[in-house]
């Protein structure tokens, strides 16, 4: 299987995405500083609801991917990638990836199907536009091209609805979601079921997550009433497309982590003195930070290209490429920042440990780098690599 992306797909930011990034960065500088982040993780909240309201209701950024005629901004994955880059740069504790990207994309695609579930999908989408939170109930490590085995099953009822039963573990952004999309087995085929979180029989149990800024939860459904949005091939296509889009935009978030790690390291090298000289005057450290700068720009090019190909509706090879590269680069950049800071990143008072945990969690979110390398090998008709990380 070989795919080819259009040669006109850009690999750098344009003026529009640059403006989006500037807007989001100003907001995050004011309301999600490093100290704010440390204060947040000391509490018991799953996300920063005040920041979520500012992103959604005040700036309309949670509606970027929704068509204008449905009340959204009608933007593309390029603009959404710009938002996620800044959210990654701040390690912001908001459910943007799980709700504004993953669940929203699934609802948009379900809402254009010639099926009975269209009114329900549109109504659920309106709820998200009003500030609600949605979730696609799949394990956080679910890779786009791996089989998405439904962990819930349905039975039909006399009134035309279905009842959903089963458990899904490690779901991203589930704790405060009001709208749940459940992949389930129905009549031997995959179905996408819409469930309201306040329906009897829905249980959400928060897990202890390595990423303190983005927890996961287990979801249990005990004969919960739901409505089928898509069934069979349509449901499978929506699931894969939503996961591909989220994986492409996750790469943008990882670039944000890289940028923060590099900038923080450079600032430290300028400010930290030893024997009367800034430690940044050491030639070895200069060379190391120069290489890190190159690594960040490679990752940025891959992430922007992936977001651009999703925006143009072209192939998924760019997503596999970006995830295979950006996952390891983000982890490498944050680990290097900890070394440059002399290990201070392990101190609870410094935000570096939060970035390390976010980078580590992101490295397995929506498929690890080896999974995406195997997918990429399939795209370009070569044998899948067996080696561990090439880093």
Whether residue 244 is found in the same domain as residue 358: yes
> What is the reported pLDDT for 389?
47
Q: Is residue 268 part of a domain?
A: yes
- Please, which residues have CB within 8 angstroms of residue 359's CB and are 6 or more apart in sequence? 254, 257, 330, 331, 333, 334
More confident residue, 270 or 148: 270
Partner residues linked to 377 by β-bridges:
none
Residue 186 has pLDDT above 70, yes or no: yes
pLDDT band at 384 (very low <50, low <70, confident <90, very high): confident
Q: Is residue 3 part of a domain?
A: no
Q: Is residue 4 part of a domain?
A: no
Task: Identify the CA nearest to 179 among candidates 142, 238, 219, 215.
Answer: 219
Question: In this predicted model, what pLDDT tens digit does every residue of 217-226 receive, in sequence order?
Answer: 999 999 999 9
More confident residue, 313 or 309: 309
Question: In this predicted model, what pLDDT tens digit does every residue of 120-144 receive, in sequence order?
Answer: 999 999 999 999 999 999 999 999 9
* Number of structural domains the chain divides into: 3
**Residues composing the chain:** 391
Residue 338 has pLDDT above 80, yes or no: yes
Question: In this predicted model, what pLDDT tens digit does every residue of 140-151 receive, in sequence order?
Answer: 999 998 887 777
89 and 24 in contact (C-beta within 8 Å)?
Answer: no
* Chosen domain end from 234, 259, 294: 234
Q: Is residue 389 part of a domain?
A: no
Whether residue 150 is found in the same domain as residue 69: no
Partner residues linked to 186 by β-bridges:
189
> What is the reported pLDDT for 219?
96
Residue 343 has pLDDT above 90, yes or no: no
Q: Is residue 369 part of a domain?
A: yes
> What is the reported pLDDT for 2?
41
**CA separation, residue 292 to residues 5, 281, 329 (Å):** 28, 16, 9
> What is the reported pLDDT for 390?
44
Question: In this predicted model, what pLDDT tens digit does every residue of 344-354 receive, in sequence order?
Answer: 766 788 999 99
Domain hosting 200: range is 134-234
Residue 276 has pLDDT above 80, yes or no: yes
Mean per-residue pLDDT, 70-91: 96
Residue 281 has pLDDT above 50, yes or no: yes
* Chosen domain end from 97, 130, 163: 130
**CATH code for the domain in which residue 288 is found:** 1.20.140.10
Whether residue 145 is found in the same domain as residue 181: yes
Q: Is residue 387 part of a domain?
A: no
**CATH code for the domain in which residue 124 is found:** 1.10.540.10
Mean per-residue pLDDT, 248-275: 95
Residue 268 has pLDDT above 50, yes or no: yes
Mean per-residue pLDDT, 238-250: 96
Q: Report the mean per-residue pLDDT for the chain.
A: 91
For the record, the structure tokens of 95 come out as 């459910």
Mean per-residue pLDDT, 70-75: 95
Q: Is residue 45 part of a domain?
A: yes
Residue 5 has pLDDT above 50, yes or no: no
């Amino acid at each position: 299987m070989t795919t080819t992306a259009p040669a006109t797909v850009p690999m750098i930011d344009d003026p529009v995405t640059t403006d989006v990034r500037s807007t989001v960065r100003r907001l995050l500088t004011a309301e999600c500083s490093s100290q704010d982040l440390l204060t947040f993780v000391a509490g018991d909240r799953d996300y920063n609801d005040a920041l979520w309201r500012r992103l959604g209701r005040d700036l309309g950024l949670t509606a970027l991917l929704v068509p204008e005629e449905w009340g959204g901004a009608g933007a593309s994955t390029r603009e959404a990638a710009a938002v996620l880059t800044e959210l990654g740069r701040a390690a912001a504790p908001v459910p943007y990836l799980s709700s504004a990207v993953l669940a929203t994309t699934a609802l948009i695609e379900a809402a254009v199907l010639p099926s009975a579930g269209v009114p329900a999908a549109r109504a659920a989408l309106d709820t998200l536009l009003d500030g609600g939170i949605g979730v696609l109930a799949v394990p956080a490590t679910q890779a786009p091209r791996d089989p998405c085995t439904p962990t819930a099953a349905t039975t039909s009822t006399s009134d035309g609805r279905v009842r959903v039963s089963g458990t899904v573990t490690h779901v991203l952004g589930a704790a405060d979601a009001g709208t749940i999309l459940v992949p389930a087995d129905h009549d031997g085929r995959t179905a996408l079921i819409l469930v309201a979180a306040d329906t009897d029989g829905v249980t959400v149990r928060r897990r202890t997550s390595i990423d303190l800024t983005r927890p996961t939860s287990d979801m249990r459904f005990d004969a919960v009433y739901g409505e089928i949005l898509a069934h069979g091939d349509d449901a499978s296509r929506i699931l894969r497309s939503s996961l591909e889009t989220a994986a492409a935009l996750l790469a943008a978030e990882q670039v944000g982590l890289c940028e923060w790690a590099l900038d923080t390291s450079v600032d430290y090298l300028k400010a930290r003195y030893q024997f009367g000289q800034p430690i940044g005057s050491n030639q070895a450290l200069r060379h190391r930070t120069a290489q890190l700068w190159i690594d960040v720009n490679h990752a940025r090019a891959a992430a922007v290209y992936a977001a651009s190909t999703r925006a143009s509706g072209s192939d998924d090879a760019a997503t596999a490429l970006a995830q295979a590269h950006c996952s390891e680069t983000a982890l490498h950049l944050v680990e290097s920042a900890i070394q440059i800071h002399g290990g201070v990143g392990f101190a609870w008072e410094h935000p570096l440990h939060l970035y390390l945990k976010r980078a580590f969690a992101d490295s397995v979110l929506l498929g690890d780098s080896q999974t995406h390398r195997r997918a990429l090998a399939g795209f370009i008709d070569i044998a899948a690599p067996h080696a561990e990380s090439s880093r």
